[in-house]
Homo-oligomer: A and B are copies of this chain.
Amino acid sequence: MKRLTAALMLSLAVLTATAQSKKVEYNFTEASDLTMVGKLMPDTPNPYHRVDTVKFKGFTKSENKQVRMSAGLSVAFKTDSKVITIKTKYEDRSFPVNTGGLSARGYDLYIRKDGKWLWAASAVAKDNKPDDNVTLIKDMDGTMHECLLYLPVFSEESSIKIGTEKNATIEAIDNPFRHRIGIFGSSFTHGTSTSRAGMSYPDQLSRMTGLQFLSLGCSGNSKLQTYFADVLCAADVDALVFDGFSNPEAPMIKERLFPFIEKIQKAHPDIPLIFQRTIYREYRNFNTDRDNNERVKTAMADSLMDIAVKKYKNVYYIKTTCATSKDHEATVDGIHPSDYGYTLWAKSIEKPIKKILKKYGIK
């Protein structure tokens, strides 16, 4: 034990020395001056909005609010700062009980290591002091790190300033993900019930595949609306993925699906439109009505998509979508998967999506 004690003594001395915290002087960089990742519409006047709500009309009040949230957006940069802090000017914040505060209002940092994105830190300013800085990470080694910082999922921001040590470098890096693949979807695509901002299935899929998924997830509001089609028609994308059968009931799917496809195909005749079957919701386990309703909804989507894939060129249907673990424990509230449920979802569609995209030279 003697040898160990000596090692401990040394380590403790190191700890004590570094524990004497000194006031850090920061240099602040607006996040949007670095590389914005995951932006479906790159030219929004507020860079943290997903859609320009002055330009695109037809949204309900809550949809308007949602498309201004920074869900699915991230910022790529490199820095040799030992500390990173963030100062936010929030325009709106949400406090959902089924979604973590770190996800709804906070930041999630990954750092590239051995070619992969390794999780580094998550943090959010105090709920009663949202305008204060929050230290995201400190005591880094001072070498240059490539960073990917996910923005809040259920908040709107007018400014996000990344603070690095005064004498450190911070610079944009190239977008780490390839191509532009839009996803229009429900709360699932939005990231509801994630515990931190980078755990939605489109974000996980981007990290898994290296492909760039551009999220237009709008919790409760992915209903094949014609005004959302307007946005998707105007978007510069190589492919589109739809979580389009999670929110609408069967009659709405019947009424809207084909016109929705036709409208988007007119604008994007040559890109793949990939629809996903909605997932199994655990609230069906003992609720007979919900079980019946889900069955009806999925049957309608399946039957129409059987026709659509034959009727329309470049239209695909993925039926493998799955966020259910064997033990049925990967749900938060019976509707929304946990982080791990979203991992399972991303894994369940990874191969089928890559296979389709490959046909179009997207890989």
A residues with CB within 8 A of B: 1, 4, 7-8, 11-12, 14-15, 18-19, 95-102, 105-106, 111, 113, 118-124, 127, 137-141, 145, 193, 195-196, 199, 204, 250-251, 282-283, 285-290, 292-293, 295-296, 299-300, 303, 307, 327-334, 338-340, 343
Majority SS at the chain A contact face: mixed
Closest 6 CB pairs of A and B: A97-B101, A340-B340, A139-B289, A195-B332, A11-B296, A139-B287
Q: Once bound together, how far apart are the Cα atoms of A18 and B250, in whole Å?
A: 17
A196: chain B residues at CB < 8 Å are: 332-333
- Chain B residue at minimal CB-CB distance from A7: B299
A138: chain B residues at CB < 8 Å are: 287, 289
A124: chain B residues at CB < 8 Å are: 97
A111: chain B residues at CB < 8 Å are: 285-286
Q: Which residue of the partner chain, among B101, B193, B295, B329, contacts A96 with CB atoms under 8 Å?
A: B101
- Please list 6 pairs of residues, one from A and one from B, whose beta carbons are closer than 8 Å in the complex, sorted by A's number: A11-B295, A96-B101, A120-B285, A122-B334, A339-B339, A340-B340
Contact B119 A282 (CB under 8 A): yes
A328: chain B residues at CB < 8 Å are: 118-119
A204: chain B residues at CB < 8 Å are: 329
- Chain B residue at minimal CB-CB distance from A332: B195
Q: Which residue of the partner chain, among B122, B292, B340, contacts A339 with CB atoms under 8 Å?
A: B340
- Chain B residue at minimal CB-CB distance from A3: B303
Known: A96-B101, A333-B196. A15 touches B289 (CB 8 A): yes
